[in-house]
Structure 1
Amino acid sequence: MTQATRTVRIGSSHGLHARPAKLFAQAAKDAGIPVTVAKDSGKPTNAASILGVIALGIEQGDYVTLTADGDDAEGVLDTLSELLTTDHDA
């Protein structure tokens, strides 16, 4: 079992509000392996849970840590990192 971790900076100008959070949570769910997201050094939350992601209150410029467990964990984090660093509000 492969585990991968990555820290990324949020690019969306309004942070992870409804639309970017939905895109992110859906991508995490579609990954088919467990993925968590944590803001700064806070408690990790299931990245596939849109409510859990919104509840973190992630703003533009915040740093989050993603962790994925399973086959192609690095590939999954590549995809999710790209979603988080893109400004979906532009």
Structure 2
Amino acid sequence: MGERKVTVAAEVGLHARPAATFVKRAQLAPMDISVAKASGGGTPVNGKSILAIMALDVRQGETVVISAEGDGSEEILDELATIAGAP
């Protein structure tokens, strides 16, 4: 299983537009994608669900762990990490 740890740089965190962009890309992937807060051993949520991503309440400066497994997962993880970490 591949994973990326990303510190969220966007002023609004992983909410609203950044979350929508992230989920839109994740939904195109053929494999399951999960996202969890890195601090406190957060429970992973479905990376293809806008409600699940918003419920994580990820704020600017917090780190998330994005996970996926399967063919092409490394490329998708790279793209999702870029989206999540973008200011």
Structure 2 length-normalised TM: 0.93
Percent of aligned pairs sharing the same letter = 39
CA distance in 2, matches of 1:4, 1:64: 14
Tell me which residue corresponds to 2:29: 31
Partner of 1:18: 16
**Secondary structure class of the residue paired with 1:66:** strand
Give the ranges of 4+ consecutive aligned residues of structure 1 lying more than 3 Å apart after TM superposition: none
Indicate whether 1:6 and 2:4 are aligned. yes
Deviation at 1:54, TM superposition (A): 0.2
Corresponding residue of 2:56: 56
Helix, strand or coil for the counterpart of 2:59? coil
Equivalents in 1 of 2:65, 2:15: separation in Å?
Answer: 17
Q: Deviations over 1:41-89 (max 9, x none)?
A: 20000000000000000001100001101101110100000001111xx
Tell me the TM-score normalized by structure 1. Answer: 0.90
Structure 2, unpaired ranges of 5+? none
Q: Structure 2 CA distance, aligned partners of 1:71 and 1:21?
A: 24
Instruction: Give the RMSD, CA atoms, in angstroms.
Output: 0.8
How many aligned positions are there? 85
